[in-house]
Structure formats: structure tokens, C-alpha cells
Amino acid sequence: MPQPTTTPQRSDPIRERFYKPLEAIDMVSNWLFFLAAFLSFLALQYDAKVDPKGYNNVQMAFIATAIVLFIFGQATKLYFWPRSEKPRRQDFLSYGLGTNLTHIRTSGYYNNNETDPIRRTGAAVLENTLFTTTVVRKMLKWVRTLTLGYVVAWLCFLSERTTDLGWIGVAAQVLFSEQLVSRWLRMEWLRSKTENIHQSLLSVFRSGATPAAMEPNVWEAFSEYESAKTNAGILTSERIFEKINPVVSVEWNQIKISANIL
């Protein structure tokens, strides 16, 4: 994740042009998920024999919501996410290698003064993984609490023998969906992965390796970081990023000193 500075020249046209639509569709998908969950529970309140019209209406609403949710999910994975990540990678490599892979460039991002392309790219990966790890760690505080609350509620349903199996089944469907347990596990994995990439690459810098010697490690770290983001499919919070930026910027400056990064 690029680190913004506080200079007036800072700008991120990539986020505005590509990530804002992705964030919008992700937010709508979350609302659709909770709507589908509500309709699933609501369907249990209707008896198909006693109130067939009400039952059918709820079922049709649920089916329609599920179909739209599926379409949004596929659109996110197959179109909006790759569409957003490609220009971000192009901007990153343009900075690291001192070239122009795209005309859509950020300004005031990536904070190191290395002149060698390999060291400059490696330092930028270090900075990205530091910020991504910190932001995801902050995001996990709320996600862990929410997921734990749903798990406790589901276990209460499960332990109560008088609870209808339909309620337990619907609760399980909600709990083990993409938006709850799966999302939490993917976030935990992303945090662990970026943290490990950061520590491994930092050790290479601190070892005093030459650019030629560290080149394989830099490209491995870069590819692992990009793959981790894609596999996790987690949008990091811009609000949290802006909030933690001053503190983590100080930490980044300390890391640069300890690793002899300009």
C-alpha cells in the first residue's frame, strides 16, 4: 500500500478512478448479503400451507437477492478487482524501475530516496507491507468482534435443544458465508502473509546485500505481496489508513535508518 505524504502535490487518481467503484460495489454487496440473511430468517416465519402467498413472496425476494449478490460477487472478482489492481501495479513498477508503464500516476507517494532500481523497488515493497499489515490489523479488531458475536449466537442456537433446525441451518449459512467467517480468515491470512514478507525482506536489507544479490528476494517479495492481496480479496480501509499514517510514517523512517535505506 503506497504511503501518502502531507505535501500539497499528493494525489491518487488510481483510487478515485478505479478503487471508488470497487468500494461502492463491495458496500452494496454487503448490504445485499444482510438482506438475504434477513429474508432467510423471515421465510421461517411463514407456513407455505397457511400463507402460501406470503411464503412465495419472501422466497422470490430471497432468490432475486441471491442472484444479484452472485452477479455482484462475480463482477467484483473477475472485473472490478483486476481492473483496480493492474494500474496500481503499473504505478508501483513505474516508480521502482524509473519508467512509465502508465500515464495514470500517483504523486507524493512512496517514500525512499534510493537511486538503484532494485533497492528502490524493494524499499517500496517494505513500505507497502508495513502499511498494509498495520491497516489490516486495525480492521481485524472490529471483524474479530463481529465474527465472535455471530459464533456465540450460533452456538447458543445449537445448544438449545428446542431450537428449530431451520433456524440453526440458516444461522450456519449466514455465519460461514463469504462476509463473515471466510472474510475474517482471509484477513487474518493477509495480515500474517504481509507481515512475514515485510520481515523477510527487511532482513535482506539489514544484511547489507548488494542490489544484484538482493534482486531475487525483491521480486519474490513483490510477487508474493501482489498474490496475497489478490487471493485475500480484501479492500483495506482508507479511513484507517489516513488515521494511522502519521504514526506509521515515523516507524517507516526508523526502519529506513535501521536498514540503511535512503
Q: Residue 258, class by beta-carbon neighbours within 10 Å (0-12 exposed, 13-18 middle, 19+ buried)?
A: exposed
Q: Which of 203, 221, 198, 199 is nearest to 92 (CA)?
A: 221
Position 50 scores a pLDDT of 77
Name residue 186's amino acid.
R
Position 7 scores a pLDDT of 42
Position 117 scores a pLDDT of 95
Provide the residue ranges of all domains of the chain, joining segments of one domain with +: 11-88, 116-262
259 Rama sector, left if φ>0, alpha if ψ -120 to 50, beta otherwise: alpha
Contact 22, 81 (CB under 8 A): yes
Position 176 scores a pLDDT of 67
Rounded to whole angstroms, the Cα distance separating 262 from 260 reads 6
Position 165 scores a pLDDT of 60
pLDDT along the chain (262 residues), means of 10: 49 88 90 84 74 83 88 91 93 91 85 93 96 96 87 73 63 70 92 97 95 96 96 91 92 94 93
